[in-house]
């Protein structure tokens, strides 16, 4: 297992619970650090895997606030509770759970290549601290995140188109006034072109404030950090920045091939992020779980993990989430084409709707009325044309 993020440790937990011998190689010194994430998850998503532990949760969210380009505010209750996690604790605890199930977690272990045989991938090479190592394995799992090289080394096409890679930056800001139970999103080409800006509270005086801009806009010269600095200067000029993180978000379709002989990809490495929201914690964990189920079935029966056999994982992913994932991808393409004027027009229509009648569905149907050509995109969404 290459990578100790939530996708990797979820695989490790379930494979180890089923009796497989698992080694997790993580290049960083600590699991869970640095945090390159807004840390937002839904209660329902988290509960697929674990009962939420209060230590993981910084804030519980039950409302959403959307701010349109001309600062029209739409706010309504969420049907589903959400959380802002503390991922340093969450990721660490996931690794502890995997270790308790029997997985070996090795930090400061940087994987720099694959071992191969005529049958396919059969291990990894790397360095732990300064010591080179080779580790043979019946199966290698690439859970090495958005910058994954494991897939590429194995000959899987993992390159992202510029339009499918968002450039994300986030600062944890303290000494500010925020409402602790609200997810706040700012939508405008001047705040975050081809993406959105978020304010995710971590209590009443602290928040993760970040944005992701589409790679196409990043190319045009103004870097994501400049958009964020301008927003902070405008909205929270007296906030103290406690940390800054930057990273790519693959808002793409899942890689066409999630497996090859002797190797599986999970999480960001396989592009399992929800392309509409950029959320990848839960979907990454889901892919880790599905991959583990397939690996257990093959390895416990002493079968060789050939590409053909491992494809069962790909099929399960597609059945459980993959089709929806493709729809979300097309929806993202449609929504990101809305202009600031169109976003304002939608917000103006919604602002007079009583909040108990507001929902994400209502917003979408209003968007359709405001921009009927979206219907064509929606038709494409469901027909796949
Ligand atoms: C700015 C930003 C905000 C985000 N906000 C949210 C959010 O609010 N909610 C949400 O659900 N998702 C969010 N995401 C996405 C989310 O962070 C990822 O989808 C999630 O972390 C993916 O989990 P993973 O286990 O696949 O990869 P990662 O968490 O990236 O873990 C990969 C691990 O592999 C290790 N690794 C990499 N290469 C090697 C190597 N060669 N050898 C050994 N180890 C290696 C890395 O050090 C890392 O620990 C955000 C992303 C960004 C960039």
Ligand 1 contacts CB of residue 45 (under 6 A)? no
Q: Which atom of ligand 1 is nearest to the CA of 280?
A: 19
* Ligand 1 pocket member 193 (CB < 6 A): no
The stretches in the chain having pLDDT less than 70 are 218-221, 322, 360-361, 364, 368-385
Per-residue pLDDT at 360: 67
- Atom 29, ligand 1: which residue's CA is nearest? 5
Q: Which of 40, 48, 1 lies closest to 289 in space, CA to CA?
A: 48
Cα 119 to middle of ligand 1, angstroms? 30
CA-to-CA separations, 182 to 78, 158, 265, in angstroms, rounded: 9, 35, 34
Any atom of ligand 1 within 6 Å of the Cβ of 322: no
Domain ranges of the chain: 6-333, 336-383
pLDDT for position 383: 43
Question: Is the CB–ligand 1 distance for residue 173 below 6 Å?
Answer: no
110 lines ligand 1 (CB under 6 A): yes
64 pocket-lining for ligand 1 (C-beta < 6 Å): no
Q: Is 143 in the pocket of ligand 1 (CB under 6 A)?
A: yes
CB 170 within 8 A of CB 206: no
pLDDT for 381 equals 46
Return the pLDDT at 201: 96
CA–centroid distance, residue 198 to ligand 1 (Å): 18
Helix%, strand%, coil% for the chain, nearest 5: 40, 30, 35
**Six-digit token pair at 101?**
């199930």
pTM over 0.85: yes
Using CA atoms, how far apart are residues 358 and 366, in angstroms rounded to an integer?
A: 11
Pairing of strands 263-265, 196-201: unpaired
CATH number for the segment(s) 6-333: 3.50.50.60
Give the position of tokens 């499918």.
164
The string of pLDDT tens digits covering residues 60-109 is: 999 999 999 999 999 989 888 999 999 999 999 999 999 999 999 999 99
CA distance 162 to 383: 25
Give strand pairing partners of 41: 83
- 8 Cβ below 6 A of ligand 1: yes
Instruction: Please tell me the distance between residue 340's alpha carbon and the centre of ligand 1 in angstroms.
Output: 31
DSSP 279-291: --HHHHHHHHHHH
CA 304 to each of CA 151, 233, 247, 258: distance values in angstroms, whole numbers, following the listed order: 19, 57, 36, 17
pLDDT at residue 162 in the model: 84
Count other C-beta atoms under 10 Å from residue 110's C-beta: 15
- Which of 1, 5, 45, 195 for a ligand 1 pocket mutation test, highest count of atoms within 8 Å of Cβ? 5
| Residue 64 Cα to ligand 1 middle (Å) | 25
């Amino acid at each position: 297992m290459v990578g100790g993020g939530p996708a990797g440790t979820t695989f490790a937990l379930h494979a180890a619970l089923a009796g497989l011998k698992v080694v997790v190689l993580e290049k960083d010194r600590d699991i869970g650090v640095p945090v390159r994430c807004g840390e937002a998850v839904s209660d329902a998503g988290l509960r697929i895997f674990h009962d939420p532990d209060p230590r993981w949760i910084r804030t519980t969210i039950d409302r959403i606030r959307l701010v349109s380009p001309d600062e029209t505010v739409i706010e309504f209750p969420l049907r589903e509770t959400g959380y802002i996690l503390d991922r340093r604790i969450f990721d660490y605890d996931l690794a502890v759970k995997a270790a308790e199930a029997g997985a070996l977690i090795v930090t400061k272990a940087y994987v720099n290549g694959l071992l191969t045989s005529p049958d396919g991938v059969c291990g990894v090479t790397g360095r732990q601290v300064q010591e080179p190592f080779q580790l043979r394995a019946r199966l290698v799992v690439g859970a090495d995140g958005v910058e994954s090289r494991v897939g590429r080394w194995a000959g899987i096409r993992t390159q992202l188109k510029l339009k499918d890679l968002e450039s994300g930056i986030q600062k944890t800001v303290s000494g500010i006034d925020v409402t602790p139970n609200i997810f706040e999103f700012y939508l405008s080409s001047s705040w975050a072109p081809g993406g959105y800006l978020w304010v995710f509270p971590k209590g009443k005086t602290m928040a993760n404030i970040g944005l992701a801009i589409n790679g196409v806009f990043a190319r045009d010269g103004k870097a994501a950090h400049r958009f964020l600095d301008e927003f902070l200067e405008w909205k929270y000029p007296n906030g103290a920045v406690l940390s800054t993180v930057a990273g790519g978000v693959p808002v793409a379709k899942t890689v066409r091939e999630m497996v090859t002989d002797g190797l599986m990809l999970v999480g960001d490495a396989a592009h399992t992020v929800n392309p509409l929201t950029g959320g990848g914690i839960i979907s990454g964990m889901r892919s880790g779980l599905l991959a583990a189920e397939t690996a257990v079935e093959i390895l416990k029966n002493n079968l060789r993990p050939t590409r053909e056999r491992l494809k069962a994982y790909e099929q399960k992913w597609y059945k459980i989430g993959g089709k929806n994932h493709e729809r979300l991808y097309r929806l993202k393409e449609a929504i990101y084409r809305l202009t600031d004027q169109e976003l304002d027009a939608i917000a103006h229509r919604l602002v007079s709707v009583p909040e108990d009648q507001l929902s994400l569905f209502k917003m979408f149907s209003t968007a359709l009325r405001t921009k009927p050509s979206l219907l064509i995109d929606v038709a494409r969404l469901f027909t796949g044309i």
